[in-house]
Each structure stands twice: as structure tokens, then as C-alpha cells.
Amino acid sequence: MAWVADHFRFRLEAILREEGQKGFAVLPRRWVVERTFAWFDQHRRLCRDYEVLTDSSEAMIYIAMIRLLLRRLAPA
């Protein structure tokens, strides 16, 4: 966790089950990550692993997010 904090300025927090918990429980802010992955799945090149290089995959993610933000700024 310290390496990630030093290199990427992210704060990681491990979310563990509470003692005695059985079954499903909603985790805090988990929906944000799931929603973002759902947006990525709407793009053909991101829903499958077509890219060979990680740089290409990263570029496709940037393109998908730019498209999403542009559609929010200028609705049709």
C-alpha cells in the first residue's frame, strides 16, 4: 500500500467482512467502480481483450472516457 501511495498518490483501503457476517453486503462506493466498468463494456474494443500492448488498452480507455464526457457536455 505504501508503494502505491508513493507512486500514484492513491489511498488504498482494505474493506473486510465484519465478524459474523454471512451472505451479501453492499460495500461503500463499490457502485462507482461497477458503473465505470459497465460504461467500458459498451465499447466493442474494451469488452474483449483485443489489444496486445497495455499502452493500446490504456489509450482505448482514455478514448472511451473522453467520448462519455463529450456526450455529457453536448447532448444531442
Residue 73 lies in a domain: yes
In total, how many domains does the chain have? Answer: 1
Residue 3 lies in a domain: no
CA distances from 70 to 59, 63, 75 (A): 16, 10, 8
pLDDT at 26: 76
pLDDT at 76: 63
- In one-letter notation, the amino acid at residue 7 is H
Which range marks the domain in which residue 42 is found?
26-76
Residue 46 lies in a domain: yes
Give me the tens of pLDDT residue by residue for the chain, a chain 76 residues long.
778 778 887 777 777 778 888 888 777 777 888 888 888 888 888 877 778 888 888 898 899 899 888 988 887 6
Residue 9: left if φ>0, alpha if ψ -120 to 50, beta else—which one?
Answer: left
Residue 7 lies in a domain: no
Which pLDDT tens digit goes with each residue over 27-47?
A: 777 788 888 888 888 888 887
